[in-house]
Amino acid sequence: MTRMPTYFISHGGGPWPWIENMRRQFAALETSLAAMPDELPEKPKAVLMISGHWEADGVRVMHAAQPPMLYDYYNFPPHTYEVVYPAPGAPEIAERAQALLDAAGIPATLDDTRGFDHGTFVPAAVIYPDADVPVFQVSMLSSYDPEAHFRIGRALAPLRDEGVLIVGSGLSYHNLREFGPQAEVPSKAFDAWLNEVLDLDPETRTDKLIHWEQAPHARTCHAEEDHLVPLFAALGAAEGGTATRVYHEDGIMGGVTASSWRFD
């Protein structure tokens, strides 16, 4: 089995692939997500998603064999609440993930009821539209603590050698009150900082990301860091790896600069 890379992806807005005008807006993102299978050494046994839309007091691991859908978005057209992404779960790999977390001193609980949130099923439907790769999620911690999420990533890293693709799904800019033209300056500055930091040596890179609030416009770009935290886990699972920006776009959602990276 060949080692898998990990990814941090900007997953776009709401159920965008099923809304024509939004899909046009996110055409470059769609292209980058659709290209991911060709960037991998082989087809994964499963995709492990750490989504910016699932947080808990302790780490939870999706364990259902056929996870339900969770439509955690609001005020979208009715048909977007009928979307079904029928990928199977990965209960045995979920148990392996729980064991790795427990062995690292990170208590983790299997969750048999959690469904795919849109931070997972939206990008997954573009990456694997045939839903022929099992998908499961690992929650963030509601503390958002950067060091804790680096530790989560490090604990899950052995899965990369077991055919599992680890994806942190968030957004490099996420401030629901500051989309539109007012996002242009802060998102561009923060995105440039992220790209510069991710190109540093691993030790310096990790330290700077742990102290991400020192970045330009940090709290404007992430008033709450739920969409940034998946980056820490994804990079923690590939901490010594090289970062490659695989998606970058200016002016989405009225003014936002956003990017995605692969770590290998």
Count CA within 13 A, CB hemisphere, residue 214: 6
**pLDDT digits over 70-120, tens only?**
999 999 999 999 999 999 999 999 999 999 999 999 999 999 999 999 999
Four-way CATH pick for 6-174+226-254: 3.40.830.10, 2.60.40.1930, 3.75.10.10, 3.40.50.300? 3.40.830.10
Q: What is the mean pLDDT of residues 125-153?
A: 98
Q: Convert the pLDDT of each residue in 208-236 to its tens digit.
A: 999 999 999 999 999 999 999 999 999 99
Neighbours of 216 (CB within 10 A): 13
Q: What is the pLDDT of residue 183?
A: 82
Task: Name the pTM for this structure.
Answer: 0.96
* Cα Rg of the chain, angstroms: 17
Beta strands in 86-228 (DSSP E): 108-111, 135-137, 140-141, 164-170
Q: What is the pLDDT of residues 23-57, one digit of tens each?
A: 999 999 999 999 999 999 999 999 999 999 999 99
- Which distant-in-sequence residues (6+ apart) come within 8 Å of 43 by Cβ? 37, 133
**82: nearest Cα among 113, 24, 48, 121:** 121
Give φ, ψ of 50 to 5 degrees: -110, 105
Nearest to residue 156, comparing CAs of 35, 40, 12, 263? 263
